[in-house]
Amino acid sequence: MSPSRRPSPLLALPLAPLLLLAPLVGTGCTSAKVTGSNLSAVEVQLSEVIPTVAGVAWSAVSGQPQDSYVEFGLDDSYGMLAPATLADDGSSTATVLGMKPGQSYHLRAVDIIDGEQVVSEDQVVETGSLPSDFPSITVQLSEDGHFQDGFLVTTLVTSPSAAIVLDPDGDIVWWYAPDGVGQMARARLSQDGQSVLMMPVNVGGEDDSSVRRVSLDGTQLELYDTPDAHHDFVERDDGSIGYLTHDPQDVDGVSQTGDSLTVMAPDGSKRTVWSVWDDFAYEEPVLTGGGDSWSHANSLQYRDGSWYVGFMNLSTIVKVSDDTGALQWALGGSHSDFHLADGGTDLFVHQHQFEILDDSILVFDNGTPNQAASMAIEYSFHEDEPQVEQLWSYDPDPSLFCFSLGIPIRFDNGNTLIDFSTAGEIDEVTPDGSLLWKLSASLGGAFGYMEHVPTLYNGGVAQ
């Protein structure tokens, strides 16, 4: 069993702006030359809802572009690219994302015509400020530390409750604070890359449970009819959305709330895939803080035709077939099909988000209020092998207690990002537990579940 990892000391370093390149597909312009302006006047309009998002429109004066995009950055060396939509009439439109609030940005439009770059004049746009009630955020780096390229799509859980996007400097570069939500649990970039979806915590039915879809410029809002939805959802490639729902049943004349998994098709029709009542009998919660639900589902994943659901009050993660609704296995707690070498099944307590890896499972173990210490923990895991073994763990020094939410994310290079949600801290650590990057919110700041995306111009992360 590996001991918990402790971070190395941090140095507070000045953070130069990090320019992230959106992929430029199909331009073939590496050897093209800039020929001078051959474009109509470029129109730039900041969103009135999210003033770090700009819409850009222009047309080719002559010739038919084969591709078009916007170059932008904090100076006229640019460094970042926003792909454009090219119409048959030679006009182009682009949505520029990832700009920091309260900054001056240079941008210019680019068309690729007959293998050459045709560029507009440089323009400067002033982005708007963050809302004054957002928490302040600080980032610290180890001496050789840095964050992964890309962005974090997450939420401010409360005060205010909002979906946000963080860049590697810890700056909030996109946000949307909806009405009717007291606590926001989850935000995800949509699969088509055109919007952000979000869901409230809604533990006891106190929030509007609708899943919300907001366009990237913030001007279009769609609410889905998802009664009793709470905590977590997944949008699949086909546009269907799976989500957790409260499921009350009568137990000896008393209504007790469990949890179900519901899938909503693109046409709005719904089906219940599985309910905790299908395979587990009601039991008094051992843990407290589970709201009105005895099982307290709080996390959801989908991959390869199966759903994975985490239950806080059962300290259990289950796998369920999407086609048949059959329970395929349970991991952890008294219902576990897997065990440690000594036969024990207490693998994690009060857990929230998790990640199924190739040969292991990574779990955010919240712990109990008495323990007052949360951690990320990894077990070897093969569905056809009942015995598991702890491979790795990380808890910060001093310890942090995250009483709700929390998520670990494993990067391709082996580093792990741990979101200590309600404690207001996010750590990136190496496999040996060395702390590279730490983001901290001011007092009262709490982050919801998050996902890492390499660029804001792609669809959502693979499920």
Q: CATH number for the domain including 102?
A: 2.60.40.10
Query: Same domain, yes or no, for 212 and 110?
Result: no
Q: Is the peptide bond before 160 cis (omega within 30 degrees of 0)?
A: yes
Determine, yes or no, domain membership for 55: yes
The answer to whether residues 70 and 161 belong to one domain is no
The confidence score (pLDDT) of residue 205 equals: 77
- What per-residue confidence (pLDDT) applies to 298? 96
Would residue 7 count as lying in a domain? no
Strands 375-380 and 195-200, bridge-based pairing: unpaired
335 plus 294 within the same structural domain: yes
Do residue 303 and residue 419 come from a single domain?
yes
Radius of gyration of the chain (CA): 24
pTM of the model: 0.89
User: What six digits make up the tokens of 115?
Assistant: 């293998």
**Domain's final residue, options 72, 106, 126:** 126
Give the residue numbers spanning the domain of 178: 137-453
- Identify whether residues 285 and 396 lie together within a single domain: yes
- The CATH number linked to 336 is 2.120.10.30
Residues 144 and 114 in one domain: no
What pLDDT was estimated at residue 461?
41
Q: How many domains does the chain have?
A: 2
Instruction: Check: CB of residue 388 under 8 Å from CB of residue 380.
Output: yes
Does one domain contain both 187 and 296?
yes
Query: 247 with 314, same domain?
Result: yes
Alpha-carbon distance of 401 to 125, in angstroms, equals 42
Q: Give yes or no: residues 89 and 201 share one domain.
A: no
In a domain, 276, yes or no: yes
Closest C-alpha among 314, 280, 273, 299 to residue 352:
299
C-alpha to C-alpha distance for 423 and 441, rounded to whole angstroms = 9
How far apart are alpha carbons 130 and 124 in whole angstroms?
19
Question: What pLDDT score was predicted for residue 73?
Answer: 97
For residue 26, is it within any domain?
no
Residue with token string 């989500």: 243
Q: What is the pLDDT of residue 10?
A: 38
In whole angstroms, what is the distance from residue 408 CA to residue 427 CA? 10
pLDDT at 35: 45
The reply to whether 388 falls in a domain is yes
Last residue of one domain, picked from the residues 67, 95, 126: 126
Q: How far is CA 226 from the centre of its chain?
A: 20
Burial class (CB in 10 A: 0-12, 13-18, 19+), 288: exposed
Query: Between the CA of residue 446 and those of 162, 351, 414, 449, what are the distances in Å?
Result: 11, 17, 26, 10
**Which residues are within 8 A (CB) of 87 and not within 5 positions of it... i.e. 6 or more apart?**
93
Are 145 and 83 in a shared domain? no
The last residue of one of the domains, among 83, 101, 126, is 126
- Residue 409 is predicted with a pLDDT of 97
Neighbouring C-beta atoms of residue 68, cutoff 10 Å: 27
User: 414-439 in b/e burial notation, b at 16+ Cβ within 10 A?
Assistant: ebbbbbbbbbbbbbbbbeebbbbbbb
List pLDDT tens digits, range 24-47: 333 333 223 344 556 788 999 999
The answer to whether position 3 is within a domain reads no
Q: Is residue 24 part of a domain?
A: no
In contact, 139 and 12? CB cutoff 8 Å: no
pLDDT the model gives residue 149: 85
Residues 142 and 245 in one domain: yes
For residue 177, tell me if it sits in a domain.
yes
End-to-end Cα separation, the chain, in angstroms: 30
Residue ranges, the chain, pLDDT below 50: 1-35, 289-290, 460-463
Percent of the chain past pLDDT 90, that is, above it, reads: 78
C-alpha 62/C-alpha 56 separation (Å) is: 19
Q: Are residues 76 and 164 in the same domain?
A: no
Please, which residues have CB within 8 angstroms of residue 286's CB and are 6 or more apart in sequence? Answer: 313
State the DSSP code for 114: T
- Beta strands per DSSP E along 265-344: 270-275, 297-303, 306-311, 316-321, 327-331
pLDDT of residue 372: 86
